[in-house]
Amino acid sequence: MEMVPSTMTEMWTTMGSTIASFMFIWAIIRQYCPYELRRYFEKYTHTIMTYFSPYIKISIHEFTGDRLKRSEAYVAVEAYLSVNSSKTAKRLKAEMGKDSNNLVLSMDEYEKVTDEFRAAKVWWVASKVVSATRPMAYYPEQEKRYYRLTFHKRYREMITGAYLEHVVKEGKEIKVRNRQRKLYTNSPGYKWPSYKQTMWSHIVFEHPATFGTMALEPDKKKEIIEDLVTFSESKEFYARIGKAWKRGYLLYGPPGTGKSTMIAAMANLLNYDVYDLELTAVKDNTELRKLLIETTSKSIIVIEDIDCSLDLTGQRKKKGGKAMADDEKERKEVKEESGNSKVTLSGLLNFIDGLWSACGGERLIVFTTNYVEKLDPALIRRGRMDKHIELSYCGFEGFKVLAKNYLNLETHPLFDAIDGLMKEVKITPADVAENLMPKSPLDDAEKCLWSLIQALEEAKEEAEAEAAAAKKVVEQSQDGGGVCSENCLAEKASE
Ligand SMILES: Nc1ncnc2c1ncn2[C@@H]1O[C@H](COP(=O)(O)OP(=O)(O)OP(=O)(O)O)[C@@H](O)[C@H]1O
Ligand SMILES: [Mg+2]
């Protein structure tokens, strides 16, 4: 019986000295052996340890084959652990979250946390490998981050199946809930990526516009919202009919009628990112393709003022004489404005429905224009631009939305006068909004309404004066016996 403690002591002593000798050899190897030999030794020690260990390890690296894109699995695990580790981890790092007013916590490097799934215990470690810097290396020292999951081999099937599925699914949901939406732009003069750079630069998207604050006929608003929501919920439908999950919107109408505002409202409704594509800054069709491939899912790709962006008007209907000359002049101007860009109409059409436009999924493509009639019909046919939305002058219903937003008024005795004037003159929502905006702290709602009435009356007088001038021109031309074309009448009236 007395032998037992002594045998135990001997055993511990032997184990202790074995470990000490091993550590000593390891220290010598680290100190004196060349890097290659060290790596070799490490590799085999590792293999022997793994052979005897009952634990399995899975690594999830931040970058895999494609160095330009973070691995989706890594991003999902990062999000999952940001919520599940923040209660147990002792060292956390904090980053700015959604709307820049809350901090999102996640586990810091080399931190270890435990998770449980159906009574199985697993361990996560956040780690990184710093690659050796070589003298004269082109790229600076690289850090390769990864997460390592460790679990007992008896849970192999459950962890590699159900648990990882659960982590990725929950991680993606957390990411969507926490993500800060971004507004991307392709800056002019930007050079095609060097290491790990992209052709897009971005800022946080924080536009406050919503469909609730937009002055729009209620039926039209409802129709657009339903269309957008149906699109965002139709993943299976698009897959079933064999169509890429994207939808094109053409927004057209005079300046100040809310086209850009509607894009922001769309992004806020669907929680999408916005890619504001400046076509004049795109060198050629190849660059356009690269830009498109970089866009991510759940995004709106916007080309504003498509008619001014490039000479994309294609083969327009032939017009006679002067109109044709104007047309040519205009094209020349557009060409000059668009600088050296060689993006063509066919390049843009391929951009909309080419094979690679399907990569990424769930995307809206929005064009805006002030002159829909100038666009090539091929560019805006259904199937490319699926929904055409006209944004027009402000009606009384639109005014009521703005009065509620700007002045918190639902009704007022001056509303009737405004309704009457709005039926007679055209005014853009931008002009209505400007008049309803208090100009000093002393301005009350009634003063703002009077300011709008005054603007409407002035617009009415102007329209009446123009109509009278046009009438006079017609009368003069009839007295002179000459026949005046529509164009010539317009010219004379403007004189
Ligand atoms: N329908 C609308 N509802 C609410 N506000 C509007 C609306 N239309 C315009 N506005 C207001 O007018 C301003 C200008 O509107 P916006 O930039 O959306 O016009 P636009 O149609 O894009 O003009 P442009 O053709 O010149 O680009 C916005 O900041 C917004 O405050
Ligand atoms: Mg605009």
pLDDT at residue 188, rounded to an integer: 60
**pLDDT value of residue 193:** 46
CB 435 within 8 A of CB 414: no
Please give the pLDDT value at position 261: 96
pLDDT, position 313? 45
Domain co-membership, 224 together with 255: yes
44 belongs to a structural domain? no
Q: What is the pLDDT of residue 254?
A: 95
Q: Which ligand is nearest to the CA of 256?
A: 1
Atom number of ligand 1 nearest to Cα 262: 18
Q: 325 and 362 in one domain? A: yes
CA–centroid distance, 398 to ligand 1, in Å, is: 12
Closest CA to 121 of 160, 155, 169: 155
252 C-alpha to ligand 2 centroid (Å): 10
Q: Write out the two tokens for 323.
A: 């109109």
Q: Which atom of ligand 1 is nearest to the CA of 304?
A: 27
Cβ burial, residue 213 (10 Å; 0-12/13-18/19+) = middle
DSSP secondary structure code for residue 199 in this structure = S
Is 291 a domain residue? yes
Q: Which domain holds residue 409?
A: 396-494
Q: Ligand 1 site: residues with CB under 6 angstroms?
A: 214-216, 255-261, 370, 429-430, 433
Domains of the chain: total: 3
In a domain, 4, yes or no: no
Of 130, 151, 180, the residue at which a domain comes to its end is 180
Taking alpha carbons only, the member of 312, 262, 257 closest to residue 282 is 312
In CATH, what number is assigned to the domain containing residue 210? Answer: 3.40.50.300
Question: 410 and 444 share a domain?
Answer: yes
The DSSP symbol for 98 reads G
Query: For 101, phi and psi rounded to 5 degrees?
Result: -125, 10
Q: 213 and 329: one domain? A: yes
pLDDT of residue 282: 87
Query: Which of 257, 307, 391, 427 to probe ligand 1 with, by most ligand atoms within 8 A of CB?
Result: 257
pLDDT value for 134: 54
Whether residue 187 is found in the same domain as residue 329:
yes
Q: How far apart are CA 422 and CA 425, in angstroms?
A: 5
pLDDT attached to residue 180: 78
Ligand nearest to C-alpha 428: 1
**Ligand 1, residues 261, 305, 308: which to mutate, most atoms within 8 A of Cβ?**
261
Q: What is the pLDDT along the chain (495 residues), one digit of tens a residue?
A: 344 445 666 767 776 677 677 777 777 766 777 777 777 777 777 677 767 788 999 999 987 765 556 788 888 998 898 887 767 777 777 776 655 566 767 777 778 889 999 989 999 998 887 765 555 555 555 678 899 999 999 999 999 999 999 999 999 888 877 777 889 998 665 454 444 456 888 898 989 999 999 999 999 999 999 999 999 999 999 889 888 899 999 999 999 999 999 999 999 999 999 999 988 888 888 888 888 888 888 899 999 998 887 665 443 333 334 444 454 555 455 454 445 667 888 788 877 777 666 666 789 999 999 998 888 888 888 878 899 999 999 999 999 999 999 999 999 999 999 999 999 999 999 999 999 998 888 778 899 999 999 999 999 998 888 888 888 888 887 766 555 555 555 555 555
Distance 267 CA to ligand 1 centre (A): 15
Residue of the CA atom closest to atom 24 of ligand 1: 255
Cα distance between residue 364 and residue 387, in whole Å:
11
